[in-house]
Amino acid sequence: MDSLDNFPKDLKEKSGGFIIVDKIEEDKVILLGKSNISNNKSAYENFGGRYEKEDICSLHTGVRELIEEFFNLKVPVDIVNLIALGLRTNNLIIKQHELNGMAYLINFEGLNFIFKNIVDYNKNLIKYNINQQFDYLTYISERIITEKANNGLNEIHRIELFKVKDVKDNKVNLRWYTNKIINLMID
């Protein structure tokens, strides 16, 4: 399972990240994180980061980074492998685009798949598991990080839900990369 052969659409030794977009009623929405890193505290960003030596490919990097930034959690590398492979085999990646690494677009179904595979690694997450569905709205309303960023954790102060239209109309302060990749990947 930990072979690059399982990930022919992904980059080796490159960064990876996720954009999470779906519809609520008639509005296309996006989840973004407000940075907790001092030089970016006023900006929102997608979830991703740099390659680390245990990462098999850019998808693996993206999954690990999303879990660290969105859920503020470290999980074993074999769980990251399992999730990356599951995202591929279950066709949960809607779109991907190469730009300084690889960006992956998923919806709430993809986010729920990731959640279901990590919920057992942090007992605090169990309360957001409602009938095998991730209660992301309650989670993001309660998730606020005040500790300093450290070893990949605490990098996102809070997560917010925005209308894609507002993001594309420049009503949200985005980091350069996040703005560029959103405009390339989201209609």
Query: What is the residue-level pLDDT of the chain in tens, covering all 187 positions?
Result: 445 577 889 999 999 999 999 999 999 999 999 988 867 668 999 999 999 999 999 999 999 999 999 999 999 999 999 999 999 999 999 999 999 999 999 999 999 999 999 998 888 999 999 999 999 999 999 998 989 889 889 999 999 999 999 999 999 999 999 999 999 999 8
Per-residue DSSP letter, 128: G
Angle at 184 between CA 80 and CA 157, to 5 degrees: 50
**How many Cβ atoms sit within 10 Å of the Cβ of residue 110?**
23
Q: Which own/partner contact pairs does 92-99 have at CB distance under 8 Å and 24+ positions apart?
A: 93/59, 95/185, 96/9, 97/181, 97/184, 97/185, 98/11, 99/177, 99/180, 99/181, 99/184
User: Taking the complete model, does pTM exceed 0.85, yes or no?
Assistant: yes
